[in-house]
Amino acid sequence: MLTKNLQNKLGWIELITGCMFAGKTEEFIKRLRRHSYAKRNVVAFKPIIDDRYSIDKISSHSGSQFESYPVKDSLQMVEKIKELTKIKKIDVLGIDEIQFFDEGIVNLVQEYADKGIIVIVNGLDKDFKCEPFKNVDKLLVQAEYVDKLSAICHNCGSNASRTQRIVNGKPAAANEPVILVSGEEQYEARCRHCYIKPK
């Protein structure tokens, strides 16, 4: 995926995106581990509201985990990074579920990449209404490397690129909240043809 940098200049943004159940977190953890194996100092963060599988670990649906710091917003992340940097220089910064953070996170990601840190983030590209998710939409044009993953449609088995929120066995209405952290009991991956636009 990455080409050799002949001048050894580090500092870029990698974005892993797509719908739910596409394997974004699995890929994210894999990349963070690879940098850890290369003896780089990897620090990962997750939104404190995402406690589905663990409070202080980034966890995929399949059970892979990576140690992380849960934070409520980008300001708390900055404070923690300052604290950690006093101990050891950070080489790789991982941010899980970036769509759940405040919009200040986008400038923060840019700032750290400019400082020579490899920033790897993941997040949903669109919400359950099939509209662009905040932060991810801006990072799509800022990131050097973008991987959009697809899932398998819950209904027909085709490639899925959309997330269907299910409430009481039926597709959620358009007036439901955009952010609702949950697992497969409330969401399904759907293809273009099986996805039902909320009304």
Q: Which CATH code fits 12-150?
A: 3.40.50.300
Strands 65-67 and 57-59: antiparallel
For residue 24, the surrounding DSSP H or E stretch is: helix 24-37
Q: Which two tokens stand for residue 196?
A: 């039902």
The 3-class SS string of 73-139 reads: CHHHHHHHHHHHHCCCCCCEEEECCHHHCCCHHHHHHHHHHHCCCEEEEEEECECCCCCECCCHHHH
Task: Quote the pLDDT of residue 66.
Answer: 86
Rounded to two decimals, what is the model's pTM? 0.89
Predicted confidence pLDDT, tens digits, the chain (199 residues): 555 554 568 899 999 999 999 999 999 999 999 999 999 999 999 999 876 666 778 877 777 888 999 999 999 999 999 999 999 999 999 999 999 999 999 999 999 999 999 999 999 999 999 999 999 999 999 999 999 999 999 999 999 999 999 988 888 888 887 776 655 458 899 999 999 999 8
- The CA distance from 50 to 44, in Å, is 14
> Hey, which residues are catalytic here?
97
